[in-house]
Structure 1
């Protein structure tokens, strides 16, 4: 199976996170992963968290890279997301208290991704995660569908 690799340079500005999400949505759609697929929603959330961490915690530019399964897009495959930055400081997973508004990024990554990790890259690092895109029968008419990776994860909108 072919793999398509795309990347985006992200500036050290929190506003870049929204640009990265829009860019990722368009690349996913271009690879045949529909915006309403649960895997697309999961990937956008993962990208948002990893890019936010890179921009906010390092203050450095970063590179967002996606490795997408090739055509036909209807077949199962793995989507890999990588964010490389210039900070050698390792990522640190926190366990935020209930009333804290920050500190859950890597917990979300750990809960939503099938695999994730990090490695040193040059003078910086690369954090990566992978999501397996499985074939699933469409939900029954009128039934709500919930991606298994979202079970047990509560997200709030403020």
Structure 2
């Protein structure tokens, strides 16, 4: 399969989607941020000095999805109809799982928006907690599913 963001001369190229059909499109993505048990407990108890860490990270993820085309040079500006950012604290694994969902009716997919939402939500958690836990680690950023468009539905195989 050829790379779509290069023209015949090998130059960067924004893909022309004007001839594509408008279809319902969705994508989900995830990221993990590992942190100390004490930091996780601080966040869960609401005792963090910066307030509701998850609320701020959720808003940051939503804003990031909406600004994806400003951050990733060849992404199309999209009229998203839904962005959702969810957090699952996994105390036993000392991490927070971030899952995002992006939806629209449009001519191009929303995988990049879902990935950007997950990434920025994780970065925001890091930013808000770095004073108490500078050894946090962000990992596992990936697309989980995509639906719609010419290539149809796709789902990551689970391990």
Q: Given the two structures, how large is their TM-score scaled by the length of structure 1? A: 0.31
User: TM-score if structure 2 supplies the norm length?
Assistant: 0.30
- The structure whose Rg is larger is 2
Q: Which has the higher contact order (CA 8 A, sep 6+)?
A: 2
